[in-house]
Chains A and B, each alone.
Chain A
Amino acid sequence: MVKIENSMKILIVKSIKFVQLIKESIQRIFPQLIAILVAFLLGAIVLIFTGYNPVDAYYSMIIGAFGDIYGIGQTLTQATPIIFTALAFLFSFKSGLFNIGAEGQFIVGAFAAAITGIYIKNIPSPIHIILSILIGAFAGGVWGLIPGILKNKFGAHEVITTMMLTYVAINFTGYLVNYPFKAPGWVSQTLQIEKTAQLPRILPPTQLSASLIIAVLLAIIINYILQRTSFGYELRASGLNPLAAENGGINVKRTMLYAFIISGAFAGIGGAGEIMGVHYRFIEGFSPGYGFDGLAVALVGGLNPIGIIFAGLLFGALRSGGMLMSRATHVPLDIVTIIQALVIIFVAAPTLLQYILNWRRNKS
């Protein structure tokens, strides 16, 4: 009897704790949830004013994103690269940097992985895959290292340098894929990568590849690094208060340099995964701005690696659902961009949201 009572007690305590945990996490993501809700409401108003039925539009959007296996596959496929670039932005941001060049690092990583996949032949598939990803990470890391050095040595601000290096990346890979590495034919693309370098598709017949698994694992690893290792501690300390960090013996400049490199490497892995899992070749202009979406997703995800997974899914769903919406209801795809932008505005401006909430409260 006593035993049972005890185990009952433990169970009760545990379930209370569990409820508390859920309550706390909801409280933590509450601003994000409200922001998303408000954004969709305002989006509905835009739809009404442009003469569409918001209920129909949103319904087809949800069906498009989650209605069948194609929709789900498309949602997850679209989410994958954004999760990578969001993690890249987050990692540098935690150390006090504003690396907005994930797009460039993503593209450079993609190109390097493509070359590795095409021109190294006759090696076992797992090795070829790992090698391609590492080369992609390396290329992205180098692209992150350059602004790091420019900042440490010459004080150049990373917002400018990472932005500019993105253009360099776009145009340089553009040159390479149009001249030295161009595959025969009309399209500006490389040859296909070897079968051995292709990531397995995990939800056939959709394009969803193992790249998503890597992204989720990476998020968990980053969370662990930031919260539990001394390196993560130094990174966060440098970001929150560099003066105090220096006083505590932390080499802030070096920590930032590492953050630049690692951040670039994450974006590079994302680019590699996109080539190895989806396109199987480097195509000019294959990224519709995943790097910039990453910045927004990092913010919407509450600057938390796990939050980024969910925010990435939201943005992925918006992209894939938006496609069906525009096909089924003739609502232009731009409405998706408007909703995305509204979500970002309300997440990035929490005080604005607070103001709206308070205004409602005062009125009632």
Chain B
Amino acid sequence: MNPAVQMLGISKKFPGVLANNNIDFIVEKGEIHGLLGENGAGKTVLMSILYGLYKPDSGKIIINGKEVVMDSPATAIKQGIGMVHQHFMLVPSLTVTENVILGKENVKNGFLLDIKNSTEHVKKFSEQFGLEIDPDVTIESLSVGAQQRVEILKALYRGADILILDEPTAILIPQEVDNLLEAIKSLKKQGKSIIFITHKLKEVFTICDRITVLKKGNLIGTVKKDETNSSQLAKMMVDKQILETYEKKKIEQKDIIFKIEELNVKDNRGIKVLKSLNLEIKSYEILGLAGVEGNGQSELVEAMMGLRQKDSGKILLNEVDISNFSPKDRIKSGLSHIPEDRQKCGLILDFSVMENLILGSHNEEPIVNRNLVINLEETCKLSENLVKDYSISTPNIQTYVKNLSGGTQQRVVLAREFSRKPKIVIAYQPTRGLDIGATEYVRTKLIEMREQGSGVLLISADLDEIRALSDKIAVIFDGKIVAIKDPSITNEEDLGLLMAGGKSG
């Protein structure tokens, strides 16, 4: 019997990145195939190629023994491939039935929509595949898990035999995850082939038959579930690179200057994302926070900076509870933040370098005088100095920040945040998207802040970065700190396992 999917020698290059490098990927009929890898390993790109969203630079795709040119999702759908994206493609104000039949409507008398018949049909479908849903309710009234079931139904309704699920559990609460995994198993029983993209080891072991591991665009291997274990998979998944080393002075860290106690926080959907989280940062310390994206890191940073309401818990800076302070007062009392997305949250692109450099100190002397008028002379002097000290390569301080390169933009953020002499620095993915030179610069500056006595919280998905810089590593999983490790004695497999929710060996 032919395999359901054969992708042979697939390569795809984006400017600056080899997203897929000569990858072979084979899915047998009726199996659940896990596609495992860290962020940026190339999983989504590979699946987008299979679904006709991207054109591969080389390689061929064979579906059920026949070679197919996947030039669009329409072709993929015709070949019986369905994809459920991380972000749903549903019309919130329409009903379940209307969404499911969208694009493949049942018509009677030539042009009238046959809703009654369709509803019956959708109902039968949902029962058959164990995807319980009321076909008459609108999408907006459904939970995230139910919306996902609608997405799956939609794919099945269009005749999908091969179903791609892109990190389907990332957005679900635990009970919903269990339901989904059950549903996937029942789909398998009906003969469907399923590709399950994930970076969570536990789920892989719960449902997958075989697992393919990708790392930085390369195929590492395909293994059968019964012939592997978590630590082998973690080892395959996590990149083992020669660590760049950074000179760090040995400093004895004694005083805890920052403490989070039993912090509970909900996300925008009202789901609990930080669950009684505890964390301590000492002065003269870089604390690395390792974790897969979406385990509560964003919400933790927002709660620390006062951008998100807490449900309960304390945030102590020098033993003062600042958890009810406004963002402004938190900055004043010594918190500083290098945001994850510098263009969206860190900079005002249509402001000049000078105007960006004073953001946050724009309402304090000497930037403003007592009448709240900005002191241009002081502002210019301060900006000129910062541009010099942080080697910000800009024509002048009046240049719009949007005209600067990514690395230079990050230097503007660093100059602003570090010049305040913060007690605590929150660096969230501070080197993401930067070239080697700029990355180096950011890391050196973080170490400099540590040597000046700041406590640094370094949040990164890049384990190498965390291991190279941190004095201590905390691992976050599912809104909790699950382990604190000494970087000199821990290894990647151990961390990878903890990050994926496993127990360290």
Point out residues on A near B: beta carbons under 8 Å.
Answer: 228-231, 233-234, 236-237, 240-241, 243-251
A247 to B350, CA, bound (A): 16
29 sampled A-B residue pairs with Cβ under 8 A: A228-B373, A228-B374, A229-B368, A229-B372, A230-B363, A230-B368, A233-B362, A236-B351, A237-B359, A240-B348, A241-B347, A241-B350, A244-B339, A244-B345, A244-B346, A244-B347, A244-B348, A246-B327, A247-B305, A247-B337, A247-B339, A247-B360, A248-B331, A248-B359, A248-B362, A249-B328, A250-B327, A250-B328, A251-B328
A240-B351 contact in complex given A247-B345, A248-B360, C-beta closer than 8 Å = yes
Question: When chains A and B are docked, how far (Å) is the Cα of A243 from the Cα of B305?
Answer: 12
Which 5 pairs show the lowest CB-CB distances between chains A and B? A249-B328, A248-B359, A248-B360, A249-B331, A241-B348
Q: A247 — which chain B residues lie within 8 A by C-beta?
A: 305, 307, 327, 337, 339, 345-346, 360
| Interchain CA distance A229-B375 in the complex, whole Å | 9
B108 proximity list for chain A (CB < 8 A): none
Which A residues are CB-close (under 8 A) to B359?
237, 244-245, 248
CB distance from B401 to the nearest CB of A (A): 10
Q: Which chain B residues lie closer than 8 Å to A241 at the CB level?
A: 344, 347-350
Decide: A249 and B360 in contact? CB cutoff 8 A: yes
Which of A244, A245, A246: most chain B CB closer than 10 A? Answer: A244
Q: Does the CB pair A231–B305 fall under 8 Å?
A: no
- Output the least CB separation between B278 and chain A (Å): 25
List residues of chain A with CB within 8 A of the CB of B259.
Answer: none
Q: A234: shortest Cβ distance to chain B, in Å?
A: 7
List of A residues within 8 angstroms of B368 by Cβ: 229-230
Instruction: Report how far A246 CA is from B349 CA in the complex, Å.
Output: 15
Chain A minimum-CB-distance residue to B350? A240
CA distance A245 to B363 in the complex (A): 13
Q: Classify the interface of chain A: helix, strand, loop or mixed.
A: helix
B472 within 8 A of A: no
Which residues from B are CB-within-8-Å of A237? Answer: 348, 351, 359
Taking each of B346, B348, B368, B374, which has the highest tally of chain A beta carbons within 10 Å of its own beta carbon?
Answer: B348
Write out the residue numbers on chain B whose beta carbons fall within 8 Å of the beta carbon of A229: 368, 372-374
Is B432's CB within 8 Å of the partner chain A?
Answer: no
Q: Does B478 contact A (CB under 8 A)?
A: no
Given contacts A234-B362, A249-B331, contact A244 B344 (CB under 8 A): yes
Whether A249 lies near B372 (C-beta < 8 A) is no
Q: Is B330 an interface residue (CB 8 A)?
A: yes
Distance to closest chain B CB from A152 (angstroms): 16
B253 contacts the other chain (CB 8 A):
no
**Residues of chain B with a CB closer than 8 A to A245's CB:** 348, 359
* Residues on A with beta carbons closer than 8 Å to the beta carbon of B332: 249
CB distance from A157 to the nearest CB of B (A): 17
Instruction: List CB contacts (< 8 Å) of B369-415 with chain A.
Output: 372-374, 376
Which residues of chain A have C-beta atoms less than 8 A from B331's C-beta?
A: 248-249
Decide yes or no whether B98 CB sits under 8 A from chain A.
no
Q: B459 → chain A, closest Cβ, in Å?
A: 15
Residues of B within 8 A of A233 (CB): 355, 358, 362, 374
Q: Establish whether residues B372 and A230, one from each chain, have CB atoms under 8 Å apart when the complex forms.
A: yes
Bound together, the chains give a CA A106 to CA B185 distance in angstroms of 66
Known: A233-B355, A249-B326, A249-B328. A243 touches B344 (CB 8 A): yes
Chain A residues near B358: list those with CB within 8 A: 233
- Of the candidates A236, A240, A241, the one having the most CB atoms from chain B within 10 angstroms of its own CB is A241
Contact pick for B372, options A231, A236, A244, A251, CB 8 Å: A231
The answer on a CB contact under 8 Å between A251 and B326 is yes
User: B373, A249: Cβ atoms under 8 Å?
Assistant: no
Q: Least Cβ distance of B283 to chain A in Å?
A: 23
Per the bound structure, the CA–CA distance linking A39 and B363 in Å amounts to 44
